[in-house]
Amino acid sequence: MGKEFFSYLKCRECGRQYPKKAVHVCEFDFGPLEADYNYEHIKHSISRSVIESRKQNMWRYRELLPIDGEPTVGLETGFTPLVKADRLAKALGIRELYVKNDAFNHPTLSFKDRVVSVALSRAKELGFKIVACASTGNLANSVAAHAAGAGLKSYVLIPADLEQSKVLNSLVYGTEVIGIHGAYDQVNRLCSEIAGKYGWGFVNVNLRPYYAEGSKTMGFEIAEQLGWKLPRHTVVPMASGSLLTKIAKSYQEAIKVGLIEEQPFTVHGAQATGCNPISAAFKAGTDLIRPVPKPKTIAKSLAIGTPADGYYAVHAVKSSGGSCEDVTDEEIIEGIRLLAETEGIFAETAGGVTVACAKKLIASGKIPAGESAVLCITGHGLKTAEAVAPHLPLPRLINPSLREFDALVANDTAVHAAAV
Amino acid sequence: MPIPVSIPTPLRPLTDNLDTVEVEGASVSELLIALDQKYPGIGERLLDAQGNVRRFVNIYVNGEDIRFLQDKETPVKPGEEVSIVPAIAGG
């Protein structure tokens, strides 16, 4: 004792301490609980070289994650590519740009694989046999897959109108998929009642203090992959606002434990205009989050009308000197296509939100053209294919004839340019 | 005329396990003062040291969050319903 890295849970509002159990809300003032660490001990236990000697997955930052023993779930998750995006940089008009590509995460192609790895590793430590979640799709996919791999039974609760591929990507793992007639916030409310009654491990309800910390690994990786330094700007999509606050926290922790030098960084938040409670509050100059009762956007993975961490996200953005933006469905589609056509990366609708918001932030000078930025891409495009499909051309069809092919490419300028 | 105020489960140990209690007042602020007099200790769970409604406590008058009405000064009339609901964490 006393030599643990992860000490206890602590209320973000009043600081009251709680034991490391499946609890997520302060009994006194209902504030959210967050993991607290012994940073002095961590500082003396890890270094760049220790981390670099470990396997390339998210658990290389294990001392800064809230579990007691060795991780047991998600051992191949994380350490996704940080792509230097020169062609997208040129298109957006910025000097130095990177894409942190969690569309490539293991095993379910979204950043949720990180949070679920932590939540289920902790769920096993706490003895849960059944795990569950409220989800807009990506989390459900990841809980279903990781639970199957860990031999846990799982229930995933989702709004009934999700993209087909996201539903299929949960069903295939043999999980219990429950579609709810209602918006995400209603699913979430129901889950909090179920968690209280059934005693299951809900990754984003009673296990939320553990789950949320998994997002930090995206930030640690960005810092390490940039050669142990921070990007000047980071653009992060916001649903509950948790990812943004945890990326800011990861940068602060990396400085605190001596992995990187003290340096300025700015985080910017991206939302869809059809569900923009955090961005709207920021733009109105308040931290009072007005709920969006009926979200209406193709970015369903960001459609949380009552964002649990909205207040903290506004403050993380503001205190770092950043901004929030939101974009229309048309701009989201353009963003997806721009990222695909310039960098060969197919992102889901949330990625289109991030790219399109970055475009606005650069155009307005909120991200200065001469500085560096990282865009956080959180999920794969095949998960939301039906949102993009109507906007793409159909393949051109011909018979297996060279003459027909000649006629087809006769007007393609690229062919003539290449032939010269 | 007393106004019914619904109490969330975590606070019922303070209200003799009643899920609804009746107190008098013409505004949310007056109701909260009356509530704390009747059930000492409930006030500090709802209001911070500056007297503001705590960030993760929601108070609704006829289903509307008072933050988007007149906050603590929101008037209440006989026949209206007041509910206290902790914020749902999740997502």
Task: Judge whether residue A420 has pLDDT over 70.
Answer: no
Asked, for residue A408, whether it belongs to a domain, the answer is no
**Burial (0-12, 13-18, 19+ Cβ within 10 Å), A394:** exposed
Q: Is residue B69 a contact partner of residue B80, using CB atoms and an 8 Å limit?
A: no
What's the total number of domains in chain B?
A: 1
Task: Judge whether residue A163 has pLDDT over 70.
Answer: yes
Asked, for residue A404, whether it belongs to a domain, the answer is no
- Give the structural domain span for A164: 6-75+112-211
Interface test with A, best of B55, B65, B69, B85 (most A CBs within 10 A): B55
- The shortest CB-CB distance from A308 to any of B57, B65, B89 is to B89
Asked, for residue A194, whether it belongs to a domain, the answer is yes
**Could you say which DSSP state residue A395 is in?**
P
- Give the structural domain span for B66: 3-86
Q: What is the mean pLDDT of residues A63-84?
A: 98
Does the CB of B49 have a partner CB in chain A at under 8 Å?
no
Q: Given this model, what pLDDT does residue A411 score?
A: 82
- The shortest CB-CB distance from A30 to any of B56, B68, B91 is to B56
Q: Given this model, what pLDDT does residue A414 score?
A: 73
Token pair of A41 as six digits: 């001990």
Is B57 in Cβ contact with A13 (below 8 Å)?
Answer: no
B91–chain A nearest CA distance, Å: 6
> Which residue in B has a C-alpha nearest to residue A291's C-alpha?
B65
Is A32 in Cβ contact with B54 (below 8 Å)?
Answer: no
Asked, for residue A228, whether it belongs to a domain, the answer is yes
Is B55 in Cβ contact with A13 (below 8 Å)?
Answer: yes
CATH number at residue B36: 3.10.20.30
Tokens 């030599």 found at: A3
Q: Are A14 and A159 within one domain? A: yes
Q: What is the mean pLDDT of residues A79-100?
A: 98
Last residue of a domain, one of A161, A179, A211: A211
Q: Are A90 and A202 within one domain? A: no
Interface test with B, best of A11, A30, A207 (most B CBs within 10 A): A30
Asked, for residue B9, whether it belongs to a domain, the answer is yes
Is A308 in Cβ contact with B91 (below 8 Å)?
Answer: yes
Q: What is the pLDDT of residues A303-361, one digit of tens each?
A: 999 999 999 999 999 999 999 999 999 999 999 999 999 999 999 999 999 999 999 99
Show the CA angle centred on residue A341, arms to residues A337 and A345, nearest 5°: 80
- The shortest CB-CB distance from A29 to any of B54, B68, B88 is to B54
CATH number at residue A323: 3.40.50.1100
Q: What is the mean pLDDT of residues A91-111?
A: 98
Asked, for residue A406, whether it belongs to a domain, the answer is no
Q: Given this model, what pLDDT does residue A215 score?
A: 98
> Which residue in A has a C-alpha nearest to residue B8's C-alpha?
A30
Q: Are A372 and A300 within one domain? A: yes
Is A32 in Cβ contact with B90 (below 8 Å)?
Answer: no
Q: What is the pLDDT of residues B16-63, one digit of tens each?
A: 999 999 999 999 999 999 999 999 999 999 999 999 999 999 999 998
Label residue A14 left, alpha or beta by phi (over 0 means left) and psi (-120 to 50 means alpha): alpha
Q: What is the ipTM of this complex?
A: 0.89
Q: Are A93 and A122 within one domain? A: no
Q: Are A311 and A323 within one domain? A: yes
Asked, for residue A360, whether it belongs to a domain, the answer is yes
Task: Judge whether residue A23 has pLDDT over 50.
Answer: yes
Q: Are A150 and A236 within one domain? A: no
Q: Are A221 and A249 within one domain? A: yes
Interface test with B, best of A12, A16, A25, A29 (most B CBs within 10 A): A29
Last residue of a domain, one of A161, A182, A211: A211
The pLDDT-based confidence of A2 (bands split at 50, 70, 90) is: low
Q: Are A124 and A53 within one domain? A: yes
A153 CB neighbour count, 10 Å cutoff: 15
The pLDDT-based confidence of A413 (bands split at 50, 70, 90) is: confident
Does the CB of B19 have a partner CB in chain A at under 8 Å?
no
Q: Given this model, what pLDDT does residue A1 score?
A: 44
- C-alpha distance from residue A357 to each of A111, A180, A308 (Å): 19, 31, 22
Task: Judge whether residue A233 has pLDDT over 80.
Answer: yes
Q: What is the DSSP string of A102-153?
A: GGG-TTTSBTHHHHHHHHHHHHHHTT-SEEEEE-SSHHHHHHHHHHHHHT-E
> Which residue in A has a C-alpha nearest to residue B45's C-alpha?
A29
> Which residue in A has a C-alpha nearest to residue B65's C-alpha?
A290
- The shortest CB-CB distance from A191 to any of B56, B67, B90 is to B90
Show the CA angle centred on residue A208, arms to residues A125 and A7, nearest 5°: 60
Q: Are A207 and A161 within one domain? A: yes
Q: Given this model, what pLDDT does residue B1 score?
A: 80
Asked, for residue B91, whether it belongs to a domain, the answer is no
Mean residue pLDDT of chain A comes to: 96
Task: Judge whether residue A177 has pLDDT over 70.
Answer: yes
- Residues of chain A neighbouring B57 (CB-CB closer than 8 A): 29-30
Q: Is residue A171 a contact partner of residue A177, using CB atoms and an 8 Å limit?
A: yes
Asked, for residue A403, whether it belongs to a domain, the answer is no
- C-alpha distance from residue A182 to each of A111, A175, A178, A334, B58 (Å): 25, 21, 12, 29, 21
Is A13 in Cβ contact with B56 (below 8 Å)?
Answer: yes
- Residues of chain A neighbouring B68 (CB-CB closer than 8 A): 290
Q: Are A103 and A146 within one domain? A: no
- The shortest CB-CB distance from B88 to any of A31, A188, A239 is to A188
Q: Are A202 and A234 within one domain? A: no
CA atoms within 13 A on the CB side of A2: 0
- Residues of chain B neighbouring A134 (CB-CB closer than 8 A): 90-91
B86–chain A nearest CA distance, Å: 6
Token pair of A379 as six digits: 């999920």
Last residue of a domain, one of A166, A191, A211: A211
The pLDDT-based confidence of B87 (bands split at 50, 70, 90) is: confident
Q: Is residue A362 a contact partner of residue A369, using CB atoms and an 8 Å limit?
A: yes
The model's pTM: 0.95
Q: Tell me the C-alpha distance between A329 and A353, whole Å.
A: 9
Q: Are A301 and A356 within one domain? A: yes
Does the CB of B63 have a partner CB in chain A at under 8 Å?
no
Asked, for residue B17, whether it belongs to a domain, the answer is yes
Is A25 in Cβ contact with B90 (below 8 Å)?
Answer: no
Q: Tell me the C-alpha distance between B8 and A195, whole Å.
A: 16
Is B54 in Cβ contact with A242 (below 8 Å)?
Answer: no
What's the total number of domains in chain A?
A: 2
The pLDDT-based confidence of B89 (bands split at 50, 70, 90) is: low
Q: Tell me the C-alpha distance between A55 and A387, whole Å.
A: 36
Asked, for residue A182, whether it belongs to a domain, the answer is yes
Is B67 in Cβ contact with A31 (below 8 Å)?
Answer: no
Task: Judge whether residue A50 has pLDDT over 50.
Answer: yes
Q: What is the pLDDT of residues A180-215, one digit of tens each?
A: 999 898 899 899 889 888 989 999 999 999 999 999
